[in-house]
Structure 1
C-alpha cells in the first residue's frame, strides 16, 4: 500500500540541502528519537482515559491494553515517571511497531490521523535536535540563556515533545533554542493610540508616537506576512518564542503555531492584567521567607490582536547571588545533580515547601520545569526558587480572604475556589511534572518525596498529596479532543501511597 511521505524523510531531504553535514548523524539518531516519542505515547496509552480503550491487564512480561474493537496492544510494564526511552516497540495484535506515528495511524481512532502527523514531526525534530548537539559535554554555562538551550528533548512526558508543524528544517536551525542560534526579532511600528500598553515600555522600543512591538521572525513571515526593517537580537529560550535580549531582559512574543498542544499567542486580557498580576505575585512571593522570587513583568503591549503582542520580563538571573547559578528545573537532568538521592530529597523539600505554602495562601503555581527555576549555590545545593510566566496560575479568592490578603482585579479564568482545580494545577505541574522529570523514574521520585514530606507542615493539601492518586494533564487525550476547551486530566499512581 502506498504511504504518504513522512516528516522523517522530509527532514532528511531538507538537511541534504541546508546542512548536509548533519545528515548522517540525523539518520543515526532516528531510532532513539522514535523510542523516546513511543515511550511518551505508551505512558498515555497505559494511563489516560482514552475512550476507545476498554481496559489494561498487567502480566508477567508487561501490560496488555484492550481496545473496544477487540484488538490487543502489548508493551512493557509502564513507569509513568520514567524519562529514559525504555519502550522500543509495542505489539498490536502481535505485529511489532517501533514508529509511534505508524502505530497511531493503524490504531485508526478518532482524530488519530492528526496526532500521527504530530508524532511523525516530533520524532523527526527530536532526531534533528540531537544530531546538532556538540560531540562532547561543555562546561557548565554561566549565562541564563545557555542553560535554557541545554534542554534538547523538550517536554519530558508529551508525545509531541518536539513537534513543530509549520517549521522547516532551516527555520528550526535558525530559531530553536537547542540549536543555539542568535535570532533577529522584528520590530513592528504601531501608532501608540492603537495599542494597549501596560507598564513601562522602553524608549528603545518606541519611535516618536509609534510603539515598536517585537515580533518573532516566524510569526512575521507566516502569520503577519511582512518584513521588518528594524530589529533586535536575542537568544531563544526553552519556549522558543521567548528570548533573552542583549541587555538581559526577556521578551515573550506571540507565536501562532501549535507547539506540543497549544497555540502560543498573547491575549489582550493577559496584557491588560500583566502588571497587576506581577505586583500581586511579587507580594505573595514575599511571604515565602526568601525561598522564592517571581520575575517582574516590566511592560506589555498589544495592537488588539493575539497575533501581535509582546511581554517584557526580568531575567531570572537577577535573583542569583555571587557564585550562584540560576537554571530552569528542566535543565537539572543535564547537570548530574539529580543522580544523588540526598540532593533530590533536598530539592523536593524546597519546592514542596514553597508550592504548598503558596497554595495554602491561595495561589496554585503552574510549576513545571520551564516556569520553575532553581538557584544553586557554588557547591550545587538548591537554595531558592524563581518563578516566571504567571499566565496559567490559579488564584483562590476564598483562601486569600482567609489570610487577609486583598483580591486584585484579575482575569476571571485565573480565579477559582475549586479545591480540586487548585491542587491539580500545583500537583500536576510540580510533583508529576517538574519533580518527576528531575527524578527520572518512579522509584527515584518515591524516595525523594518520602524524604521531603517528613518535614512539611501537616495541612489538608499535604494530606491530599500523600493520600490520593497524582493528577496530571491527559496530554494525548487533549490532542485527540479538538472540540474540547480547557485541560483534561487523568491520575497516576502516587509513589507516596
Structure 2
C-alpha cells in the first residue's frame, strides 16, 4: 500500500479523510505516478536550464556535475516528453523518486521553498487524478465547453509546479479546481460606480442603479477581501472554472476573469489596474490585426473590465471562444487535445502544426507575438475533426513590435509600454517558446513526434527570416525552475532546447 511521504502528501491525506474519505484509497494509489510526473518535469529543468549551481553536463545531459562536486544522473532527457517517464534519479549514489526530497537534498539557494511547492504539486496532482471517472469521457456537446478544460488533469505539461496550489485547502480544490468539475458561485459585490475604473463597456445586467456588480471568486472573498459592507452581496453568478482556475465560463454567456490572489503554478496573478484601463485598447488592436488573417485566426474580445483601483478586486469579461464555431464544428483548447485520439495520428498532428505555424508566423510578421501556449490557444475542428481555424484568448501577455506593425500599416499606438518591443529575440522567444516548445510539444508528447509534425509543416510555409530561425536555431523555452529559484529577479528567464528539426 502506498503512503504519504512528504508533509504536503500527509496534509492532503488528512484533509481528504475529513472532507472526502472515499477518495483516500485512490489518492494514495496515485501518489507514485504523481511523483514521477513532477520529477519528469523537474529533470527536464535540471538538464536544460542555466542553473548556476550546475557546473557541467555530459554530452547526452544524463549526468550533471554540481558546483559542490556531487553528481546527479538519470535517464537521457527528452525535453519534449510529457507524462512521468522519470521514476528516479541518482544523487551521489542515493536514489530519489520524490521531487520534493530531491530538491531538498540538492541544498541550493531558495531550494527549501521550492521543495515545498514540489511536494504540494505532486500531492495535488494525485488528488486531481484520484477524482476522475475511470471510463473514457465522451466529446462534450452543446454549451458544455468547460468539460474540455477539466480534462487537463495534469496541468502544465512541462512546469514542475504543474499542480501546485498553495493556499488552497483540499475542500477548496475540490470546490474550485476545473478538473474536479464543480459549479462555482461567483459573488456579485456592489461597488459605487464613481469608485471604479472601467475599461470597455460594463454590461447593464451587472449594474444596480449607481453601483457596478463586480464578480468575486469565493476564494478571494474568503481569504483576501474584507467582508461585504452593510448591503452584502447583490447575488451570485454560477460559472464553471476553466484551466486557469480564476477564469470561469458562465453557461451561455461570457468568460469571467476574476482576481484570485493565490500562487498558481509559479506566480500570484492579480488583475492590475493598467490591465483594466487598457483592456479596451488592447482588444480593439487585436481585432484590427486579425482582420489581416483571412479568417485563419480569431481573437476573443474583451467586453468590459472593472476594478476599484486595487488588484485584489477586479474582473474582466471576455466573449466565449465557442462563438467562433459554425454548424458541426467544435472549439477545443490545445492543452486538451492529448485527452482525445487526434494527436496519435501523425498526419493530423502535422496538419495542426502547419495551421498553427502559419497563423503564428503571419502574425509575427505583422508585429504581434502571441503567448500561444495550450491554455490560450484553441483549435476549431470541423465535422471530421480536421483542424480548420484557430482562436486565441487573453491578450495580456502578447508582445507587439511597433516597427513591424508600421511596415504593414497596422496602428499600434496607445498600447501598454510593457508589451511593446522591437527586439527580435524577445518576439521570437514569446511565440516559439509558447507555441512550439509549449503547445505543439505538449500535444506531440515527445521529441520524435514533434519532429515528425514540424518537418512536413515547415516545408509548406512561405520562407522568411522568422521561419529560418525556427528551423535552424535552438528552441527557446522559459526556464521555469530557474525562475522559481530566483525570487529577486522579476520577469521571464529563458533557456534553449535542442531543435528537433536540426
Smaller-chain TM-score bracket: over 0.9
Write the distance in 2 (CA, Å) between the matches of 1:490 and 1:299. 36
The corresponding residue for 1:422 is: 427
CA deviation profile, 1:98-117 (whole Å, cap 9, x unmatched): 00000001101000001001
The corresponding residue for 1:174 is: 175
CA deviation profile, 1:235-282 (whole Å, cap 9, x unmatched): 000000000013321000011111111212001111111111111111
CA deviation profile, 1:142-175 (whole Å, cap 9, x unmatched): 2211111111000000000000000000000000
Alignment of 1:19-38 (within 5 A): 19-38=20-39
The alpha-carbon deviation at position 373 of structure 1 amounts to 0.2
Alignment of 1:39-54 (within 5 A): 39-54=40-55
SS in 1 for 2:125: helix
The alpha-carbon deviation at position 199 of structure 1 amounts to 1.6
Structure 2 unaligned regions, length at least 5: none
The alpha-carbon deviation at position 86 of structure 1 amounts to 0.5
The alpha-carbon deviation at position 207 of structure 1 amounts to 1.3
Alignment of 1:74-223 (within 5 A): 74-142=73-141, 143-223=144-224
Write the distance in 1 (CA, Å) between the matches of 2:93 and 2:385. 48
> Aligned match of 2:322 in 317, 320, 327?
317
> Aligned match of 1:273 in 273, 278, 281?
278
> Aligned match of 1:447 in 432, 440, 452?
452
SS in 1 for 2:358: helix
The corresponding residue for 2:268 is: 263
The alpha-carbon deviation at position 189 of structure 1 amounts to 1.3
* In the alignment, structure 1 residue 361 sits paired with structure 2 residue 361: no
The corresponding residue for 1:253 is: 258
* In the alignment, structure 1 residue 65 sits paired with structure 2 residue 64: yes
SS in 2 for 1:426: helix
SS in 1 for 2:163: coil
Write the distance in 2 (CA, Å) between the matches of 1:294 and 1:317. 11
The corresponding residue for 1:404 is: 409
Deviates more, 1:160-169 or 1:401-410: 401-410
Write the distance in 1 (CA, Å) between the matches of 2:5 and 2:338. 37
CA deviation profile, 1:424-481 (whole Å, cap 9, x unmatched): 0000000000000000000000010001000101010001101100000000000000
The alpha-carbon deviation at position 408 of structure 1 amounts to 2.5
Q: Is the 8 A contact 2:153 2:179 kept in 1?
A: yes
Deviates more, 1:107-116 or 1:194-203: 194-203
The corresponding residue for 1:306 is: 311
The corresponding residue for 1:463 is: 468
SS in 2 for 1:105: helix
Write the distance in 2 (CA, Å) between the matches of 1:405 and 1:289. 15
SS in 1 for 2:58: strand
The alpha-carbon deviation at position 63 of structure 1 amounts to 1.1
Write the distance in 2 (CA, Å) between the matches of 1:288 and 1:204. 33
TM-score, scaled relative to structure 1? 0.98
Q: Is the 8 A contact 1:276 1:408 kept in 2?
A: no
Write the distance in 2 (CA, Å) between the matches of 1:283 and 1:378. 29
The corresponding residue for 2:225 is: 224
Deviates more, 1:124-133 or 1:281-290: 281-290
CA deviation profile, 1:61-92 (whole Å, cap 9, x unmatched): x7111100000011000000000210000010
The corresponding residue for 1:7 is: 8
* In the alignment, structure 1 residue 295 sits paired with structure 2 residue 311: no
Q: Is the 8 A contact 2:305 2:314 kept in 1?
A: yes
Write the distance in 1 (CA, Å) between the matches of 2:345 and 2:85. 21
The alpha-carbon deviation at position 5 of structure 1 amounts to 6.1
SS in 2 for 1:358: helix
Count of residue pairs brought into register by the alignment: 493
Write the distance in 2 (CA, Å) between the matches of 1:173 and 1:475. 26
The alpha-carbon deviation at position 225 of structure 1 amounts to 3.8
SS in 2 for 1:485: coil
Write the distance in 2 (CA, Å) between the matches of 1:294 and 1:139. 27
Q: Is the 8 A contact 1:201 1:300 kept in 2?
A: yes
Which stretches of structure 1, 4 residues or more, deviate above 3 A after TM superposition?
none
Please report the RMSD computed on the Cα atoms of aligned residues, expressed in angstroms. 1.2
Write the distance in 2 (CA, Å) between the matches of 1:168 and 1:54. 39
The corresponding residue for 2:245 is: 240
Write the distance in 1 (CA, Å) between the matches of 2:434 and 2:276. 24
Q: Is the 8 A contact 2:6 2:119 kept in 1?
A: no
Write the distance in 1 (CA, Å) between the matches of 2:493 and 2:178. 29
TM-score, scaled relative to structure 2? 0.97
Write the distance in 1 (CA, Å) between the matches of 2:219 and 2:434. 29
Write the distance in 2 (CA, Å) between the matches of 1:8 and 1:290. 48
